[in-house]
């Protein structure tokens, strides 16, 4: 519920996220494992605004986080680095700013990252992701020629890589 508390939801997309419910697996946009552990949070294009809560790091079984095409502001919380099972991270087309947390580089299972069309800055941590999209972040891509949807081999020596 802390995740919801920092988000504004003008159209009630998250209205069934009930703090009295003991089973978040029944909530909209949540997927769970057979053991009833949250494995996915997918709420694209729901007009959500506000901040992404650092408590996202408590969802330690999360494999997929997709919140693209919303109006989420602020930095990407460093606690995202606690999501050791995360395979897909899509936060594109929001209003995120600040640097990409170094903790993202610790996520060895991460295969797909889309942080495009935000206002992120600074270097991108080395990552094992096969696909990284950082287009539309001028403070990351300004010096790079080819910053559209980037297909990668694992990033070893550079923080931004094109076809390699």
Q: Would 158 be classed as within a structural domain?
A: no
Q: Which helix (H) or strand (E) holds 141?
A: helix 138-141
Q: Could you give phi then psi for residue 41, rounded to 5 degrees?
A: -125, 110
Total of domains in the chain: 1
Q: What is the pLDDT of residue 67?
A: 97
Q: Would the pLDDT of 85 be above 90?
A: yes
Q: What is the pLDDT, as a whole number, of residue 19? A: 76
Three-point CA angle 73, 136, 68, nearest 5°: 50
pTM of the predicted protein model: 0.84
The arithmetic mean of pLDDT across residues 140-144, rounded, is 53
Establish if 40 belongs to a structural domain. yes
- Establish if 157 belongs to a structural domain: no
**Taking Cα atoms as reference points, which of 138, 136, 137, 141 lies closest to residue 159?**
141
The span from the CA of 79 to the CA of 7, in Å, is 17
In a domain, 33, yes or no: yes
Segment 42-58 shows an average pLDDT of 96
Instruction: Give the structural domain span for 81.
Output: 2-151
Residue 18 maps to a domain = yes
98 in a structural domain: yes
Q: What is the pLDDT of residue 115?
A: 96
Asked whether the predicted pLDDT for residue 134 surpasses 80, the reply is yes
- Give 113-118 contacts, CB < 8 A, sequence gap 24+: 113/89, 114/68, 114/89, 114/90, 115/76, 115/89, 115/91, 116/92, 116/149, 117/92, 117/93, 118/91, 118/92, 118/93, 118/94
Give domain status of residue 159, yes or no.
no
Q: How confident is the model at residue 1 (pLDDT cuts 50, 70, 90)?
A: low
**Average pLDDT of the chain, as a whole number:** 85
CATH code assigned at 131: 3.80.10.10
Instruction: Kindly indicate the confidence band of residue 74, based on its pLDDT and cuts at 50, 70 and 90.
Output: very high
Average pLDDT over residues 21-38: 90
Q: What backbone torsions phi and psi does residue 31 show, to the nearest 5 degrees?
A: -120, 150
Q: Is residue 44, in this structure, part of any structural domain at all?
A: yes
CA distances to 20, 31, 55 from 94, rounded to whole Å, are 30, 22, 19
């Amino acid at each position: 519920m802390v995740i919801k508390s920092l988000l504004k939801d003008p159209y009630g997309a998250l209205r069934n996220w009930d703090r009295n419910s003991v089973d978040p697996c029944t909530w909209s946009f949540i997927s769970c494992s057979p053991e009833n552990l949250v494995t996915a949070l997918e709420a694209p294009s729901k007009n959500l605004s506000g901040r992404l809560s650092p408590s996202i790091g408590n969802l330690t079984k999360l494999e997929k986080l997709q919140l693209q095409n919303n109006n989420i502001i602020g930095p990407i919380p460093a606690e995202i680095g606690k999501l050791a099972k995360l395979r897909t991270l899509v936060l594109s087309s929001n209003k995120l700013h600040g640097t990409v947390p170094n903790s993202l580089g610790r996520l060895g299972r991460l295969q797909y990252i889309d942080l495009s069309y935000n206002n992120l800055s600074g270097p991108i941590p080395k990552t094992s992701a096969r696909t990284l999209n950082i287009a539309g972040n001028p403070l990351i891509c300004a010096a790079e020629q080819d910053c559209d949807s980037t297909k990668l081999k694992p990033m070893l020596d550079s923080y931004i890589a094109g076809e390699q």
